[in-house]
């Protein structure tokens, strides 16, 4: 008798799913056809609907050698905890999923070249969040991952290098920051009304198709090579396969100084901020990073720890406050003053303390107000402690200068 495939062992793991789990799989040991639906014990069901996707390693490869796989979630929550794919999948599509969440041990097919998300409210395909918590035990990491919201930026940091086509059109993405997408030849972001910031997303001369229809961006910050790659594209026309589409596109980039402002394709409604001499790998995450200013970074003090495990253009200069659990420090980033908050000795903290710090970062990232310092992104110290960057407020305590009754409720909540 032939040895049972890997799924036979996985059936025990399916027991962790809800009792009403209906798992879509592709396994020749259980399915008479290419795919079937099973319960927790891997008994084949007559149901065609599903609420989980599991082992798909036996999905047949197309005779042409190019294999497509598409999943329609029907706007229902679909558990992807045990999702596995063979390496020969070339094209993968998720349609109508409230959430697409792939856990940290998910392995992308090595031959995947085309990835599409359509009608997806939240995309969490991050596998790097556990990097910040590597000193914790596995169960604590798992709990943290499953209870913490992951930003759009982290979600897309782990896309496979084989990818050349990426469609994020018609999704609920809010920002795209610090992403290296220089391998892409096609990128579609159209009809994503929540998307308002693109910052330091690297594109290259490989880019042939770009669709930006019906977008209203507050800002788009890019390096010079990315600007050249985008601006060289010609308008797409009927019968022409390559080019850009930018119907009803608005990009203001008002925070950019005039020296760095430029327009795309000669359109005054598509103003971007071009930072010469920079690249995506040089900047920590930031949805509000302004133009680089001139000046010389102050050398770090001899009494202040050096939190950033980031490139040399980030320099901690002075400790503003130090407590038993947290340190607030001043810093420079590309000669710009910023603030850094560090969870001291993160590896010794309880899960509740780490969760609280994570919740604080989540709250900071949602406070989009001209009255509140901007959240610039998470980081890690050389010692492995959690940290995050924010704008440096040098004008004193804001609460002493505003009247809450004159501010919107959301802004008042953030300030208080």
Cβ-contact 70, 90 below 8 angstroms: no
In this model, does residue 386 exceed pLDDT 80?
no
Query: How many distinct structural domains can be found in the chain?
Result: 1
pLDDT of residue 357: 77
Query: pLDDT at position 136, please?
Result: 32
Contacts of residue 303, Cβ cutoff 8 Å, sequence gap at least 6: 319
Structural domain includes residue 376? yes
Please report where in the chains the tokens 């084989």 appear, as a residue.
Answer: 162
pLDDT digits (tens, 9 = 90+) for 111-152: 999 998 888 877 776 543 333 333 333 333 333 333 233 344
Is there a domain that residue 204 lies in?
A: no
Report the alpha-carbon angle 141-147-148, nearest 5. Answer: 90
Structural domain includes residue 101: no
Going by C-beta distance under 8 Å and a sequence separation of 6 or more, which residues neighbour residue 119? Answer: 75, 95, 96, 97, 170, 171
Dihedral sign, Cα of residue 27, residue 32, residue 38, residue 44: negative
339 found inside a domain: yes
Write out the residue range of the structural domain in which residue 336 sits.
314-415
- The residue with greater pLDDT, 218 or 364, is 218
pLDDT at 379: 66
At 93 the pLDDT is: 92
333 assigned to some structural domain: yes
CA angle, corner 286, sides to 301 and 407, nearest 5? 100
pLDDT tens column, 144-193: 333 233 344 556 666 778 889 998 888 878 888 888 899 999 999 998 88
**Between these two residues, 398 and 288, which has the higher pLDDT value?**
398
Query: Cβ distance 317 to 301 under 8 Å?
Result: yes
Whether the predicted pLDDT of 394 surpasses 80 = no
Q: What is the pTM of this model?
A: 0.55
Does 124 or 319 have the greater pLDDT score? 124
62's CB contacts (< 8 A; 6+ apart) are: 68
Compute the radius of gyration of the chain from its Cα atoms. 24
Indicate whether 190 belongs to any domain: no
Distance CA 37, CA 30 (A): 9
**Three-state DSSP class for 185?**
coil
Looking at 134-138, 313-317, 318-322, 398-402, which range is the least confident one? 134-138
pLDDT at 305: 30
> pLDDT averaged over the chain?
72
Which one is predicted more confidently, 286 or 344? 344
Q: What are the strands, taking DSSP E only, across 181-295?
A: 186-188, 197-202, 209-211, 216-217, 219-223, 243-245, 250-251, 261-264, 267-275
CATH code, 340: 3.30.200.20
């Amino acid at each position: 008798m032939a040895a049972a495939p890997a799924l036979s062992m996985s059936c025990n793991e399916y027991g962790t799913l809800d009792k009403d789990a209906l798992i879509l799989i592709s396994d020749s040991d259980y399915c008479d056809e290419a795919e079937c639906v099973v319960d927790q014990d891997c008994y084949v069901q007559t149901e065609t609907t599903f609420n989980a996707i599991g082992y798909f390693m036996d999905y047949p490869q197309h005779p042409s050698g190019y294999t497509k796989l598409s999943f329609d979630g029907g706007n229902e929550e679909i558990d992807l905890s045990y999702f596995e794919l063979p390496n020969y999948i070339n094209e993968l599509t998720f349609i109508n999923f409230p959430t697409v969440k792939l856990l940290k041990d998910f392995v992308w097919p090595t031959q995947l070249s085309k990835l599409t998300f359509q009608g997806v409210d939240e995309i969490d395909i991050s596998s790097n969040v556990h990097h910040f918590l590597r000193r914790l035990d596995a169960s604590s990491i798992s709990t943290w991952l499953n209870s913490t919201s992951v930003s759009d930026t982290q979600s897309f940091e782990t896309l496979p290098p084989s990818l050349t086509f990426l469609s994020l059109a018609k999704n609920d993405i809010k920002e795209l920051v610090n992403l290296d997408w220089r391998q892409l030849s096609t990128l579609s972001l159209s009809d994503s009304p929540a998307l308002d910031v693109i910052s330091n997303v690297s594109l290259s001369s490989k880019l042939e198709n770009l669709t930006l229809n019906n977008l209203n961006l507050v800002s788009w910050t890019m390096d010079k090579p990315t600007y050249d790659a985008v601006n060289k594209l010609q308008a797409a026309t009927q019968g022409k396969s390559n080019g850009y589409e930018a119907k009803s596109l608005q990009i203001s980039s008002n925070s950019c100084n005039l020296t760095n402002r430029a327009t795309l394709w000669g359109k005054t409604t598509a103003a971007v901020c071009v930072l010469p001499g920079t690249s995506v790998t040089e900047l920590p995450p930031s949805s509000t990073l302004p133009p680089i200013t001139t000046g010389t970074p102050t050398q770090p003090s001899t009494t202040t720890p050096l939190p950033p495990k980031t490139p040399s253009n980030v320099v901690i200069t002075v400790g503003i406050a130090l407590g038993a659990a947290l340190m607030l420090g001043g810093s420079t980033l590309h000669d710009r003053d910023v603030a850094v908050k560090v969870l001291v000795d993160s590896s010794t903290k309880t899960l509740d303390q780490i969760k609280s710090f994570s919740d604080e970062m989540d709250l900071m990232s949602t406070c989009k107000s001209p009255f509140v310092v901007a959240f610039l992104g998470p980081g890690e110290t050389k010692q492995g402690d959690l940290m995050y960057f924010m704008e440096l407020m040098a004008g004193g305590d804001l609460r002493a200068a505003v009247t809450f009754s004159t501010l919107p409720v959301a802004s008042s909540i953030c300030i208080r």
